[in-house]
């Protein structure tokens, strides 16, 4: 068997292309990674990154929204997109012989039409998504705890935004955000699997030749996480939802892999220490702990859901496990 080969190049317009070529693989995957997310938004534009992710599937000058969905299906692709605090990602996986059409489709999507009619319709979809999130107790717990922990740092910004910010957002504001953040020097194309590297680079260079770089910045204020506790009562809920945040190393730190391992030892859903201390004993219906290594900052997030009469016991056991990881 041949070993995987790691490849990288940067096009003249600043677009970075990376790949892990494995000629033993049976598939090809590619994704566009945009170095932008909720941490890069001003309060007036809260939620624009996620809203824009939706709009990227609404059509281009070459394709309608129906064309995009149909072509993904015709390629037999597994595909999706997501927005986080720091990046927006669009990806697909196909058989290796579909490398060229998948890249053409994904690349075309990176230059959306952003039609006003589509914008107006999709705004209602986003508002419904915000309402659904507010009705979800786990999301509410994390949305309440996160901004308090981040204490004004932009990593505490909501990915969805608010009903007020989305309602006020204009198509022109979204276009301005897109132009500055989706510049080629703020994008990375990542590919993996059985692939033709030379053809991939040639195709992307041809398709993005007219894309112009832009000055794209990210703010790095000092991270001063807040400590403390707060209870929010909601008579409509029958469970206690506990979210706990703690500082961790950044994505650039040499201990980032160790931090990820610690989170897995504690929070793996089926075998972590929290599972055996809480879930397996029937004290909670859900328990997790995750490591979030961010750009020049980081955090651990723990979440549990339990009955009100067990909340104090569960909180104590959760803290015991966090202390025990240091000594045992």
Which member of 5, 20, 41, 53 is catalytic? 53
Closest by alpha carbon to 89, among 126, 36, 134?
36
Which member of 24, 71, 97, 122 is catalytic? 122
Paired strand residues for 244: 302
- Answer whether 80's CB lies under 8 Å from 194's CB: no
Is 129 considered catalytic here?
A: no
Question: What's the rounded Cα separation, in Å, for the pair 307 and 294?
Answer: 33
Question: What's the rounded Cα separation, in Å, for the pair 286 and 135?
Answer: 18
Exposed, middle or buried, 143 (CB in 10 Å: 0-12/13-18/19+)? Answer: middle
Question: What's the rounded Cα separation, in Å, for the pair 175 and 165?
Answer: 16
Question: What's the rounded Cα separation, in Å, for the pair 316 and 46?
Answer: 36
Question: What's the rounded Cα separation, in Å, for the pair 220 and 232?
Answer: 31
Question: What's the rounded Cα separation, in Å, for the pair 56 and 59?
Answer: 7
Question: What's the rounded Cα separation, in Å, for the pair 142 and 138?
Answer: 6
Burial 92-122 (b: 16+ CB within 10 A, else e): bbbeeebbeebbbbbbbbbbbbbeeebbeeb
Closest by alpha carbon to 243, among 179, 205, 309, 290?
290
Is 309 considered catalytic here?
A: no
Instruction: Tell me the catalytic residues.
Output: 53, 122
């Amino acid at each position: 068997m041949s070993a995987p080969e790691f490849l990288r190049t940067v096009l003249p317009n600043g677009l970075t292309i990376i790949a892990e070529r494995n000629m033993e693989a049976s598939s090809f995957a590619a994704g566009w990674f945009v170095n932008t997310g909720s941490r890069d938004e001003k309060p007036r534009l809260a939620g624009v990154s996620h809203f824009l992710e939706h709009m990227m599937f609404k059509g281009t000058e070459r394709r309608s929204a129906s064309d995009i969905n149909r072509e993904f299906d015709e390629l037999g692709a597994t595909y999706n997109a997501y927005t986080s605090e720091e990046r927006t990602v669009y990806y697909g996986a196909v058989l290796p012989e579909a490398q060229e059409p998948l890249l053409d489709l994904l690349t075309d999507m990176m230059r959306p039409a952003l039609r006003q009619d589509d914008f107006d319709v999709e705004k209602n979809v986003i508002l419904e998504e915000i309402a659904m999130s507010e009705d979800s107790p786990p999301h509410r717990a994390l949305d309440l705890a996160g901004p308090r922990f981040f204490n004004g740092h932009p990593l505490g910004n909501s990915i969805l935004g608010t009903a007020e910010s989305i309602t006020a957002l204009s198509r022109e504001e979204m276009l301005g955000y897109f132009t500055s953040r989706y510049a080629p020097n703020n994008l990375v194309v990542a590919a993996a699997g059985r692939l033709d590297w030379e053809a991939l680079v040639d195709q992307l260079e041809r398709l993005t030749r007219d894309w112009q770089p832009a000055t794209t910045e990210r703010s790095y204020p000092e991270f001063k996480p807040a400590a403390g506790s707060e209870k929010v009562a909601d008579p409509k809920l029958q469970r206690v939802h506990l979210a706990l945040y703690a500082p961790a190393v950044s994505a650039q730190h040499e201990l980032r892999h160790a931090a990820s391992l610690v989170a897995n030892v504690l929070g793996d859903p089926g075998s972590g220490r929290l599972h055996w201390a809480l879930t397996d004993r029937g004290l909670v219906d859900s328990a997790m702990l995750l490591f979030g290594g961010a750009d020049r900052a980081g955090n651990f997030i723990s979440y549990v859901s339990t009955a009100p009469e067990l909340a104090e016991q569960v909180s104590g056991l959760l803290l015991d496990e966090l202390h025990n990881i240091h000594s045992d």
